[in-house]
Amino acid sequence: MTVKLYLVPGTVALASHAALEEAGADYDLHWLRFSKNEHVAPDYLAINPKARVPALETPHGILTETPATLEWIATTWPEAGLMPSDPWQAARAREAMSYLASTVHVNHAHKMRGSRWTQDAAAQKAMAAEVPRTMGECAAYLESRLEDDWICDAFSVADLHLWVISRWLDGDGVPLADYPKLHALSDRVAARPAVARVAAEHARHER
Ligand SMILES: N[C@@H](CCC(=O)N[C@@H](CS)C(=O)NCC(=O)O)C(=O)O
């Protein structure tokens, strides 16, 4: 089975890319550029009418939303062990991914994507100014929640999701170095060979 991932470098789609690489999946990439508005072009809207990345083309159809793409990848290539089999641990992974997608990522979007919520330039500026505080609160919560090396009792796709969002913290005015457990987890994820390969590819495409 071959799948195709639609992605923009450095975005949350990086988590799905890293998961495919970790899983040893056979996949193709379709890179898009926000700068060229390729995510709102008709051919991409036919893939994902939400005009967001990631979108994953699978033999069953298109899948979007990072918690769903990550879990599907993990459970489609179970031998990679990317999702806990224990129900409690799996629920903890979903809990983390749901929080990352619905709260942390949304707070981050208030910096650059304020036009989703208001067309008032002053209101957009005011929302962006809150990002260091709201993302700082999320980082503090995550720091307090981390007990072991990983979010669950072993590495999982939830760690990939957290790693990608942790990469945005410095740019959001929240020094990752101020959160030692989060920082260490992020470094552990980045040191995995599959993740390092994928991160290098994104760095090349970001240039
Ligand atoms: N809930 C979605 C959010 C996806 C999303 O917002 N991706 C951003 C990139 S990090 C995007 O495509 N933004 C384009 C835009 O806002 O126009 C997920 O978790 O996958």
pLDDT in tens, 69-104: 999 999 999 999 999 999 999 999 999 999 999 999
Atom 13 (ligand 1) nearest CA: 52
Indicate if 53 and 108 belong to the same structural domain.
no
pLDDT in tens, 55-70: 999 999 999 999 999 9
Q: What is the DSSP letter of 177?
A: G
* CATH code, domain with 101: 1.20.1050.10
Indicate if 8 and 63 belong to the same structural domain.
yes
Ligand 1 environment, Cβ below 6 A: 11-12, 39, 51-54, 65-66, 101, 105, 113
Indicate if 169 and 136 belong to the same structural domain.
yes
- What confidence tier does 150 reach under pLDDT thresholds 50, 70, 90? very high
Indicate if 188 and 134 belong to the same structural domain.
yes
Give burial (CB, 10 Å; 0-12/13-18/19+) of 13. Answer: buried
Query: 186: which 2 tokens?
Result: 């992020």
What is the predicted pLDDT for the residue at 207? 77
What is the predicted pLDDT for the residue at 56? 98
* CATH code, domain with 13: 3.40.30.10
Atom 5 (ligand 1) nearest CA: 52
pLDDT in tens, 109-136: 999 999 999 999 999 999 999 999 999 9
What is the predicted pLDDT for the residue at 102? 98
Where does the chain have alpha helices with state H? 13-23, 42-47, 66-76, 87-99, 105-112, 121-129, 131-145, 157-166, 180-190, 193-206
Residue 162 has pLDDT above 80, yes or no: yes
Average pLDDT, the chain: 98
Supply the range of the domain harboring residue 201: 2-81+195-206
Atom 2 (ligand 1) nearest CA: 65
Indicate if 122 and 35 belong to the same structural domain.
no
Q: How many domains does the chain have?
A: 2
Indicate if 51 and 102 belong to the same structural domain.
no
pLDDT in tens, 21-52: 999 999 999 999 999 999 999 999 999 999 99
Ligand 1 atom with least separation from CA of 67 = 19
Indicate if 91 and 35 belong to the same structural domain.
no
Indicate if 179 and 106 belong to the same structural domain.
yes
